[in-house]
Amino acid sequence: LFAIFAFATCGGYSGELRLSVDCANKSESDLSIDIAFAYPFRLHEVNFDAPTCEGKRRETLSLIGDFSSSAEFFVTIAVFAFLYSLAATVVYIFFQNKYRENNRGPLIDFIVTVVFSFLWLVSSSAWAKGLSDVKIATDPDEVLLLMSACKQQSNKCLPVRSPVMSSLNTSVVFGFLNFILWAGNIWFVFKETGWHSSGQRHPADTMEKQSSGYNQGGYNQDSYGPSGGYNQPGSYGQVGEYGQSQSYGQSGPTSFSNQI
């Protein structure tokens, strides 16, 4: 969804500005000069006619700048990110066993996620700079400076309407939000890889080896068990020494009485 918002707000943009040139000779004036431009922002190809305030002669001018590279790069990354997200969702839901087979799926997913995170950062930064240049190139005050009629003080040149750039600003915001989203997802994809599993397994193996070492020697040896020591059950628990006191009690007084 974030990728859709990113390329839709940028790739579907079209804007327009309107200028007014009021010549000293009113018949030569043009109070409504409309200049339309759109994605991919090859502004040098946007032409418009403007009065020269010198008779009926008009001049053909064009906007300045070509910002298609950054705009198309941004939209391309957004489209491919959308397609990959859609494909990954299908794999997660319907091909989970195939995804985890030989750990190949998580590794590919991890690498692609890292690459897209980097590309989102680069493309969003490039498009943010490109949008700043587009705003300058389509500023009505800057466009008026291109007209020869506006260089004469007897003529009045005024901006009538500026282009609305809210959707382009939104595209830049969604670009950086996509970078945060993909960069944050790196950790969750990394947990699915064998690298994370092997990192968790080694500490457990170390603990097992240490515990087996303590069981084989030291405080848990059988020296305190059946072989002798404090844990011998025969020292205090056998009936042979203290449990046969009844025979001692029977023979002892009889012998004594006979002696008497």
pLDDT per residue as tens digits for the range 56-103: 888 999 999 999 999 999 999 999 999 999 998 998 888 877 777 777
At 16 the pLDDT is: 94
pLDDT band of 196, cuts 50, 70, 90: low
Q: Are 86 and 187 in contact (CB under 8 A)?
A: no
191: left (phi over 0), alpha (psi -120 to 50) or beta: alpha
- The answer as to whether 49 is a domain residue is yes
3-state secondary structure of 230: coil
At 191 the pLDDT is: 82
- The answer as to whether 50 is a domain residue is yes
Q: What is the mean pLDDT of the chain?
A: 79
Q: Are 172 and 128 in contact (CB under 8 A)?
A: yes
- The answer as to whether 212 is a domain residue is no
Phi and psi of 167, rounded to 5°? Answer: -70, -35
**Of 5-9, 75-79, 189-193, 205-209, minimum mean pLDDT range:** 205-209
- Residue of 139, 6, 4, 117 lying closest to 71 (CA atoms): 6
At 225 the pLDDT is: 43
pLDDT band of 195, cuts 50, 70, 90: low
- The answer as to whether 6 is a domain residue is yes
At 217 the pLDDT is: 46
- The answer as to whether 253 is a domain residue is no
List of E strands, the chain: 14-22, 30-38, 47-51, 58-62, 156-161
- The answer as to whether 227 is a domain residue is no
End-to-end CA distance of the chain: 113
Virtual torsion, Cα 184, 185, 187, 188, nearest 10 deg:
140
Q: Which residues of 61-95 are buried (b: 16+ CB within 10 A; e: fewer)?
A: bebebbbbebbbbbbebbeebbebbeebeeeeeee
Give the C-alpha separation, 141 to 156, whole Å: 12
Q: What is the pLDDT of residues 201-257, one digit of tens each?
A: 444 444 444 545 444 444 444 444 444 444 444 444 444 444 443 434 444 444 443
At 122 the pLDDT is: 97
Q: What is the pLDDT of residues 240-255, one digit of tens each?
A: 444 443 434 444 444 4
At 189 the pLDDT is: 83
pTM: 0.70
3-state secondary structure of 35: strand
3-state secondary structure of 67: coil
Strand 156-161's sheet: what is its strand order? 30-38, 14-22, 156-161
Instruction: Report the percent of the chain where pLDDT is more than 90.
Output: 52
At 143 the pLDDT is: 93
Number of alpha carbons in the 13 Å side-chain half-sphere of residue 63? 25
At 134 the pLDDT is: 96
Show the CA angle centred on residue 159, arms to residues 157 and 161, nearest 5°: 155
Q: What's the number of domains the chain is made of?
A: 1
- The answer as to whether 243 is a domain residue is no
Parent domain of 43 = 1-193
- The answer as to whether 80 is a domain residue is yes
